[in-house]
Amino acid sequence: MATHAEIEQRQSVIRGWLESGIAHSSAATMASVRFSISRSVSYDAIRQAQQTIDSSDDGPAESEQDDLNPLSILATLQHHFNIAAASGDVPAMAKLVQSMDKARAWRGLKQEKVSPLQSPHA
């Protein structure tokens, strides 16, 4: 049985996914894996998160409901990286860095290799 704090955290994460445009079926799969819950519980949590979004005035505007673009994907990955860093989850941080690199590659952004010994003003 999940604590109230765990349920609130789950709702917050799911709400973030929904607000970033992730499909309900994908969110259900991700929630099931991430929180070790059944798909039916995942869909219940998604329903609750969607109701919160619909009833709040701080949800995404209609103009934000467009297709996802690579920058929003990068922003979502960065957000999850920040959460992982705050909790000290190094394996998740490493996976998120790899995912961000892939998302940048999709967008055509090139990563410059920089030596830690190289001066930024050189």
Ordered by start, the domain boundaries in the chain are 1-62, 67-110
Cα–Cα distance, 120 to 18 (Å, whole number): 39
CA angle 6, 1, 90 (to 5 degrees): 45
Q: What pTM was computed for the model?
A: 0.48
Q: Read off the pLDDT of residues 88-118 as tens digits, 9 standing for 90 and up.
A: 899 999 999 998 888 777 766 555 554 445 5
Secondary structure of residue 84 in the 3-state scheme: helix
Q: What are the tens digits of pLDDT across the range 22-36?
A: 889 989 999 999 899
How does pLDDT run across 35-71, given as a tens digit for each residue? 999 999 999 999 999 998 888 776 556 665 556 666 7
